[in-house]
Amino acid sequence: SLSTPPALYIFGLSIVMAVVALLLACVSMTTIWREGLKGMNYAVTGIIISLMVLAGPLWYLPRLFTQPRINDVATDTLSPPQFQVLSVVRPSDARPASYPGRKFAELQQRAFPELAPMHVERSGLETFKLVRDAAERLGWEILSEIQPAEGEPGRIEAVARTPIMGFRDDVAIRISPGKVESRVDVRSASRYGQHDFGTNAKRITALFSEVKSELEKGERTALEMELARRAKEERERKRKEEEKMRIAKAKAEAEEREKLRRLREEELKRQEAQLRALSAEEQRTQFLLQQGLQPGLLPVPGAAPNEPKRKVRRRDGRWSLPADKFFQRFGE
């Protein structure tokens, strides 16, 4: 609940006190060592505590000399996104909400040349949702959001906090839809202080990285869905081919069975005809034998008419009728 200016004063005072304590502990330890006095453990404890307090500032100390003295960073320095809602909620003792101008732009270009607008191959509304979700995942507090409309860009205004001290920084995002892709511009500014130690530039980079990660995830998901669809189509194609092969095989087997059935029927008919012919011959022979005739001595029906007629002696000694008259009377 402590506001930023008092927190900065307290933080600066703690650094000064830690430096003084470190110097006093070093002097005390030297004196104790030379004169052989007691209290070395207290001096060492003071040094350790002082170094723990100074660890954070010492971590940021190199950036004080390597990073430019700016606290407002934007991907579009010519026309940066403006703070509308944030300019109202900003404390009265905070820095002005307007962009500082060309001086900051030149320093930013030299220090962070990679900062540039992000182009997303999505519609304006899809890009707006991607950016908003990315800001929420980063833990930003969204104060205002306006979806892009026809000819009008979308806007998101949020408050982000630094990880250690929890300082509140303002972020404005502009989503400009196009025919093929959408453009995302971001502006991040600190409310207090003259040096952000590169925090605002890192914040913009983190947002873009989160959006890219979500895009890659969506592309992977789309690729997985496409691969799954193709696999399903391949399985369906194989199933249809197997079904066609099964139907063709069943049809071929049915045709083969029909062919075999016809062949068996023809064979049965042929055998029946042979049996009928054989049965007729056997019946004729048996009839002749019953009549006391010898079938081998009978003339064949249809023989030449001038063939001499023969009588056949029966078993009882009597002569039979001529064969032609016999067949004329009794038939086959």
> CB-based burial of residue 195 (10 Å sphere; 0-12 exposed, 13-18 middle, 19+ buried)?
middle
Q: Which helix (H) or strand (E) holds 174?
A: strand 168-177
d(CA 260, CA 309): 51
- List beta partners, residue 160: 169
Q: Where are the alpha helices (DSSP H) in 112-198?
A: 124-137
Domain identity same for 60 and 78: no
Both tokens of 157, joined, read 């205004």
Domain stop point among 47, 66, 85: 66
Residue 262 falls inside a structural domain: no
Q: Domain range for residue 323?
A: 299-332
Domain identity same for 98 and 137: yes
Both tokens of 209, joined, read 């990285």
What does the pLDDT read at residue 18? 84
Q: What CATH number is associated with residue 95?
A: 3.30.310.80
Per the CB < 8 A criterion, the answer to whether 102 and 169 are in contact is no
With a CB cutoff of 8 Å and minimum separation 6, the contacts of 81 are: 74, 155, 172, 173, 174, 185, 186, 187
Q: Where are the alpha helices (DSSP H) in the chain?
A: 4-35, 40-66, 85-89, 102-111, 124-137, 199-290, 323-330
What does the pLDDT read at residue 69? 87
- Those residues of the chain that have pLDDT short of 70 are 1-9, 60, 222-224, 279-281, 283, 290-332
Domain identity same for 50 and 99: no
Residue 187 falls inside a structural domain: yes
Per the CB < 8 A criterion, the answer to whether 107 and 48 are in contact is no
Both tokens of 143, joined, read 């104060």
Residue 165 falls inside a structural domain: yes
Burial 89-125 (b: 16+ CB within 10 A, else e): ebeeebbebebbeeebbebbeebbeebeebebebbbe
Residue 122 falls inside a structural domain: yes
Domain identity same for 187 and 81: yes
What does the pLDDT read at residue 146? 94
What does the pLDDT read at residue 172? 96
What does the pLDDT read at residue 303? 46
Name the residue among 244, 210, 28, 53 with its Cα closest to residue 137: 210
Domain identity same for 121 and 204: yes
Domain stop point among 162, 196, 224: 224
Residue 146 amino acid letter: I
Residue 182 falls inside a structural domain: yes
d(CA 124, CA 311): 124
Residue 294 falls inside a structural domain: no
Name the residue among 300, 301, 294 with its Cα closest to residue 320: 294
Name the residue among 159, 75, 84, 171 with its Cα closest to residue 119: 75
**Residue 36 DSSP symbol:** T
With a CB cutoff of 8 Å and minimum separation 6, the contacts of 181 are: 119, 120, 121, 122
Both tokens of 312, joined, read 């056949």
Domain stop point among 203, 224, 245: 224
Domain identity same for 104 and 149: yes
Burial 225-249 (b: 16+ CB within 10 A, else e): eeeeeeeeeeeeeeeeeeeeeeeee
Task: Tally the residues of the chain.
Answer: 332
Both tokens of 268, joined, read 């049965």
Tell me, rounded to whole angstroms, the distance of Cα 293 from its chain centroid.
100
State the sign of the Cα–Cα–Cα–Cα dihedral 23, 25, 30, 34.
positive
* Domain tally, the chain: 3
Domain identity same for 158 and 135: yes
Domain identity same for 311 and 208: no
Residue 308 falls inside a structural domain: yes
Domain identity same for 102 and 45: no
Residue 196 falls inside a structural domain: yes
d(CA 178, CA 40): 70
Domain identity same for 204 and 331: no
Domain identity same for 124 and 155: yes
Domain identity same for 81 and 178: yes
